[in-house]
Amino acid sequence: MKTAMITGITGQDGAYLAKFLLNKGYNIIGLVRNNSGINMKNLKYLDIDDKINFIKVDLLNLSNIVRIIEKNEIDEIYNLAAQSSVGLSFSHPIETLEFNIVSTAKLLEAIRNTNPKIKYYQASSSEMFGNVKKESLPINENFLLRPVSPYGISKAASHWITVNYREAHNLFAVCGICFNHESVLRNKNFVTKKIINTAVKINLGLADELRLGNIRVCRDWGYAPKYVEAMWLMLQQDNPDDYIISSGEVHSLEEFVVKVFEKLNLNVDKFVKIDESLYRPNDLEINYGDNSKAKNKLNWKYNMSFDQLIYKLVDDEIEFIK
Ligand code: NAP
């Protein structure tokens, strides 16, 4: 039986990954913050909160991480913990940069000093690429990183730290460069969750308007439970490498809103208000990814269309709110 250690286990991806690995027979160690109670909401929703060995740790404390790795026989580490919101990273740049970058370096340094055979997954992000010229899209693994937010900068730094430990110290360390992926477990401070949650509430008579910032931005949205499978596949290969994980489709946020409201038979113009105070200081206009390397080399199968994704998210949100 293999043992996987997951940082960020209480988040969207951490919860789905833990469920996926439990189904494969893994032992799961979930690292959680040592300065607050454990946020069990997502793990309870997936009914796995009692199947995980939780360990409280400060991921900025190297000796704490070293002690955990020395005490447990760990095969794989998935580093998903991060301040993961682009929007929040503008108001909290120092915390975002400090935690996201230093925790990655400390985890890799702990592996190097204790058990370099451990396989390591780093949660990289499409936000690392910044604004790419439309004619150059879709983005592949070889594109230049030119992030435009503190979050993107923190992920770019963590990405290169991971590549550096792979090349300089021969660690099996990989980066999954994920584009946006959604689910009913998406954190409330993400616009997609806000749209779906508010639309469902409007439908139930529990809300009367949806205020949004710039809805002209275009993104590549996928379904989170399928993305965690790609993370695992990356650690099952003979050689470590980095992969774009994306749906390969691109749509505007406006299309996203319209599709959600259509599904609920609601009139968009009546309920949606544009509020310029919600615009970000700097935003990516459009991005989408080329997932062919992941599909060909990992044999990762992703075939959910945009419409199917939206319908699934709306249906799940209705159940969730009930
Ligand atoms: P999420 O739902 O926001 O979860 C973030 C996790 O990180 C939570 O478990 C949170 O713990 C933990 N965390 C945050 N700050 C921490 C700190 N200072 N100390 C310890 N733990 C901390 O994020 P997600 O959507 O699952 O994403 C997982 C990873 O993939 C993140 O690194 C994210 O940046 C990256 N990523 C996500 C996407 C996407 O579309 N979802 C795309 C590209 C990359 P608490 O529960 O205690 O807050």
pLDDT number for residue 96: 98
Q: Could you read off the pLDDT of 191-237 as tens digits, one per residue?
A: 999 999 999 999 999 999 999 999 999 999 999 999 999 999 999 99
Closest CA to 181 of 42, 44, 281, 288: 288
93: CB partners within 8 A, 6+ apart:
150
254: CB partners within 8 A, 6+ apart:
215, 216
> Do the strands 251-252 and 218-219 form a parallel or antiparallel pair, or are they unpaired?
antiparallel
301 has pLDDT over 80: yes
Q: What is the CA radius of gyration of the chain?
A: 19
Residues facing residue 32 across a β-bridge: 56
Indicate the top mutation candidate among 13, 54, 187, 234 to test ligand 1's pocket, ranked by most ligand atoms within 8 A of CB: 13
Mean pLDDT of 260-281: 93
With a 6 Å cutoff on the Cβ, whether 267 touches ligand 1 is no
23: CB partners within 8 A, 6+ apart:
none
Indicate the top mutation candidate among 52, 59, 84, 120 to test ligand 1's pocket, ranked by most ligand atoms within 8 A of CB: 84
pLDDT number for residue 43: 98
- Percent above pLDDT 90 for the chain: 94
Peptide bond connecting 138 to the previous residue in cis, omega within 30 degrees of 0: yes
| Positions marked catalytic | 125, 127, 151
124 has pLDDT over 80: yes
Residue in this structure with the two tokens 């609601």, named with its chain if needed: 266
Supply the residue whose CA is at minimum distance from atom 4 of ligand 1.
11
Task: Answer for the pair 124, 245: CB distance below 8 angstroms, yes or no.
Answer: no
pLDDT number for residue 280: 78
DSSP code string of 255-313: HHHHHHHHHTT--HHHHEEE-GGGS-SS---B--B--HHHHHHS-------HHHHHHHH
Q: 81: number of CA atoms within 13 Å, CB side?
A: 25
Residue 143 per-residue DSSP state: S
6: CB partners within 8 A, 6+ apart:
14, 17, 18, 21, 28, 29, 30, 31, 77, 78, 80
pLDDT number for residue 109: 98
Supply the residue whose CA is at minimum distance from atom 16 of ligand 1.
82
With a 6 Å cutoff on the Cβ, whether 82 touches ligand 1 is yes
115 has pLDDT over 90: yes
pLDDT number for residue 274: 95
Ligand 1 mean position, distance from CA 103 (Å): 12
pLDDT number for residue 261: 98
Report which ligand 1 atom has the smallest distance to the Cα of 9.
Answer: 9
pLDDT number for residue 322: 83
Long-range contacts: 36-39, Cβ < 8 Å, 24+?
38/10, 39/10
Ligand 1 mean position, distance from CA 228 (Å): 13
Supply the residue whose CA is at minimum distance from atom 40 of ligand 1.
180
With a 6 Å cutoff on the Cβ, whether 92 touches ligand 1 is no
DSSP code string of 165-227: HHHHH---EEEEEEPPEE-TT--TTSHHHHHHHHHHHHHTTS---EEES----EE--EEHHHH
pLDDT number for residue 276: 87
Ligand 1 mean position, distance from CA 14 (Å): 8
Supply the residue whose CA is at minimum distance from atom 20 of ligand 1.
33
Ligand 1 mean position, distance from CA 245 (Å): 17
157 has pLDDT over 90: yes
Indicate the top mutation candidate among 77, 80, 106, 220 to test ligand 1's pocket, ranked by most ligand atoms within 8 A of CB: 80
Confidence label for 184 from pLDDT (cuts 50, 70 and 90): very high
pLDDT number for residue 285: 87
Confidence label for 279 from pLDDT (cuts 50, 70 and 90): confident
pTM as predicted: 0.96
With a 6 Å cutoff on the Cβ, whether 298 touches ligand 1 is no
With a 6 Å cutoff on the Cβ, whether 8 touches ligand 1 is yes
- Percent above pLDDT 70 for the chain: 100
Q: What is the mean pLDDT of the chain?
A: 96
Determine the 3-state secondary structure of 244 from DSSP: strand
Task: Answer for the pair 247, 220: CB distance below 8 angstroms, yes or no.
Answer: yes
Closest CA to 271 of 182, 220, 208: 208
281 has pLDDT over 80: no
189 has pLDDT over 90: no
With a 6 Å cutoff on the Cβ, whether 91 touches ligand 1 is no
Ligand 1 mean position, distance from CA 40 (Å): 14
pLDDT number for residue 34: 82
36 has pLDDT over 80: no
Mean pLDDT of 97-110: 98
With a 6 Å cutoff on the Cβ, whether 100 touches ligand 1 is no
Report which ligand 1 atom has the smallest distance to the Cα of 95.
Answer: 18
pLDDT number for residue 228: 98
User: What single letter denotes the amino acid at residue 126?
Assistant: S
pLDDT number for residue 282: 73
Q: Could you read off the pLDDT of 48-91 as tens digits, one per residue?
A: 999 999 999 999 999 999 999 999 999 999 999 999 999 999 99
